[in-house]
Amino acid sequence: MPIFWRIDNLFSRGNILILVREIVERVRLIAREVGSTKLAKISGVQRYTIQRFIAGNNITVEKFLLIYEALEKLGYSFRKEVIEYEPVILGERVDVVVKPVYGRIGAGDGVNVEDIVGQVPVPVDFGRPKYLYFKVRGNSMSPAIMDGAVVGIDTEDKVVENGKIYVLSLKDEGNVVKKVYRNGKHLILESMNSSFPPVIKRGDEVWVVGRVRLVINQI
């Protein structure tokens, strides 16, 4: 089954698709220490629901967020670089639309019917025309973005923000998915897999297709 991994605004209410497994487990552990009675008073979540969560059961994202926010009020902090961790679904239904997946995206966001390699269901928020979907080849961005994963690209977000993940079109090389850093007139393309060294390119050798906003790995 596909898992939807929202890169940004992971904890913004109403936009939750996926939470990070490590964070969920940390919240569960600390909730156990704080106790269900105290958390119920602060969060407004029923004590029984909190007890179920502490015991290892899934709860809705809305209830999880209330618990999460209550623990933050108590001084606990959970925020991490979310791309580095395994995601987990907490049992909330997500409406989807089907979008084409491309094996190649040219400079200027050029896409052709012959480059379609499949289809993928995506949350409706990611079905707008500005999003393109690209199939990743190779393990340079693993474990977060695996070989064969599909990434959702915001083609309106092309201005490089250091350390964020973009799909790029390289002159004479095709598409790559990398963390990008700007250094003067050059771009440093960094993999998440340490086996792949950083690559430095002149700005005129790189076309930024857009920023990765969604990762769909297959499990």
Q: Give me 206's structure tokens.
A: 């790189």
Give the pLDDT of residue 81. 38
Give the pLDDT of residue 86. 39
Q: Which residue has the tokens 């857009």?
A: 210
Asked whether residue 184 falls in the same domain as residue 101, the answer is yes
Angle between helices 21-34 and 36-43 (to 10 degrees): 110
CA 135/CA 152 separation, integer angstroms:
9
Residue 71 belongs to domain with CATH number? 1.10.260
Asked whether residue 161 falls in the same domain as residue 204, the answer is yes
Give the pLDDT of residue 122. 78
Asked whether residue 107 falls in the same domain as residue 62, the answer is no
**117, 104 contact by CB (below 8 A):** no
Asked whether residue 111 falls in the same domain as residue 207, the answer is yes
Asked whether residue 100 falls in the same domain as residue 67, the answer is no
Asked whether residue 128 falls in the same domain as residue 211, the answer is yes
Asked whether residue 84 falls in the same domain as residue 183, the answer is no
Residue 121 belongs to domain with CATH number? 2.10.109.10
pLDDT in tens, the chain (219 residues): 344 444 333 333 333 334 455 667 778 888 999 999 999 999 999 999 999 889 888 777 668 778 888 888 888 876 543 333 334 444 445 567 888 999 877 555 556 666 888 888 777 778 888 899 999 988 898 877 888 888 889 999 999 999 899 999 887 788 899 999 999 999 999 998 889 999 999 988 999 999 998 887 764
Give the pLDDT of residue 89. 44
As for how many domains the chain has, the answer is: 2
Please identify, among 51, 69, 88, the residue that sits at the C-terminal boundary of a domain. 88
Question: What value does the CA radius of gyration of the chain take, rounded to a whole number of Å?
Answer: 19
Residue 204 sits at φ, ψ, to 5 deg, of -80, 0
Asked whether residue 170 falls in the same domain as residue 195, the answer is yes
Asked whether residue 124 falls in the same domain as residue 209, the answer is yes
What are the C-alpha distances in Å from 115 to residues 22, 83, 125? 37, 27, 24
**102, 116 contact by CB (below 8 A):** yes
Asked whether residue 132 falls in the same domain as residue 41, the answer is no
Give the pLDDT of residue 48. 93
Q: What's the domain range around 22?
A: 2-88
Q: Give me 199's structure tokens.
A: 């690559």
Question: Sign of dihedral through CA atoms 170, 171, 173, 174?
Answer: positive
Among 107, 108, 83, 119, residue whose Cα is nearest residue 175: 107
Looking at the chain, the number of H-run helices and the number of E-run strands are 4, 12
Asked whether residue 100 falls in the same domain as residue 188, the answer is yes
Give the pLDDT of residue 12. 34
Asked whether residue 211 falls in the same domain as residue 105, the answer is yes
CA 211/CA 98 separation, integer angstroms:
20
**131, 193 contact by CB (below 8 A):** no
CA 168/CA 166 separation, integer angstroms:
6
